[in-house]
Chain A
């Protein structure tokens, strides 16, 4: 295993663990952003340049900022929540489930032997664009994703918009 991969993997795992175990939700959001950043670096290391840049734009640029916005918008509630997450029994029950599932998956995957003799594939952005628009099933998936995005955007707006009557004076 090469040194860069080990560095990237340890950054991913350490920041992901920090994101789920820290107390302050702002710190959790920032650690999650670091996890997404390191994952994008891993994609770049694995020759998937387009996917690495998409990961940077979508996750670090949009999702992490959205998470931080939501944390700050719900600040008074999150301030008092979760006194010390790692000292509550539910956290360790969740950890037990996760260790069982993750260990089973890792044990199965560690036994996988890759087929030999495959060199690093090259897929340029031009080819990805051609693939997305040329083959019929990709075009169909692209249109469905576009519809899904539109529906998700409208749905998120409807959910987050303050209601007209505002039962508890919401949406200030």
Chain B
């Protein structure tokens, strides 16, 4: 079993998933899809933590970081989606290019 190959595969996979998340953040106008892209990027980071924990540094720190990252990502998703519903209620729209500047 060639383990370093799978570690490199995991790292490349997480880089590509991060890139797909960036596409959603920069390229889509729906606020929900921007949040999905952020979740993808956080997932890519957690994949890196788990891959390094599994193949390179088998101390418990990687696992702890992953658990806390998932918890914070869940809190962020809840607040973000609540923001989207609040935005929709005020503007009748959930598109990020229709959000007024905060100074208004």
Complex CA gap A98/B47 in Å reads: 18
Majority secondary structure of chain B interface residues (helix, strand, loop or mixed): helix
Chain A contacts for B17, CB-based, 8 A: 12-13, 16, 35
Complex CA gap A67/B55 in Å reads: 33
Do the beta carbons of B50 and A153 come within 8 Å of each other? no
**B contact residues, total (Cβ < 8 Å):** 76
Question: Does B4 belong to the interface (CB within 8 Å)?
Answer: yes
Complex CA gap A170/B87 in Å reads: 11
Do the beta carbons of B22 and A97 come within 8 Å of each other? yes
B19's nearest neighbour on chain A, judged by CB, is A102
Do the beta carbons of A66 and B78 come within 8 Å of each other? yes
Range class of the A interface residue count: 35 or more
Chain A contacts for B37, CB-based, 8 A: 20
Question: Which of B1, B20, B53, B88 contacts A73, CB < 8 Å?
Answer: B88
Question: Nearest Cβ distance between residue B22 and chain A, in whole angstroms?
Answer: 4
Question: Nearest Cβ distance between residue A53 and chain B, in whole angstroms?
Answer: 11
Question: Which of A88, A98, A138, A156 contacts B23, CB < 8 Å?
Answer: A98
Complex CA gap A38/B4 in Å reads: 21
Do the beta carbons of B27 and A91 come within 8 Å of each other? yes
Considering only residues 23-78 of chain B, those with a C-beta below 8 Å from chain A are: 23-30, 32-33, 35-37, 39-40, 43, 46-47, 50-51, 53-58, 60, 63-64, 66-68, 70-78
Given A28-B36, A50-B63, 19 more A-B residue pairs with CB atoms under 8 Å apart are: A1-B2, A5-B6, A20-B33, A25-B33, A48-B50, A48-B54, A51-B70, A66-B77, A69-B81, A70-B32, A77-B92, A78-B94, A82-B29, A98-B20, A98-B27, A112-B11, A127-B60, A138-B64, A145-B71
List, sorted by A's number, 18 A–B pairs whose CB atoms are closer than 8 Å: A5-B9, A9-B9, A13-B13, A20-B21, A29-B32, A35-B40, A59-B39, A63-B74, A70-B84, A74-B32, A82-B29, A101-B18, A109-B15, A118-B3, A120-B54, A121-B54, A128-B63, A152-B79
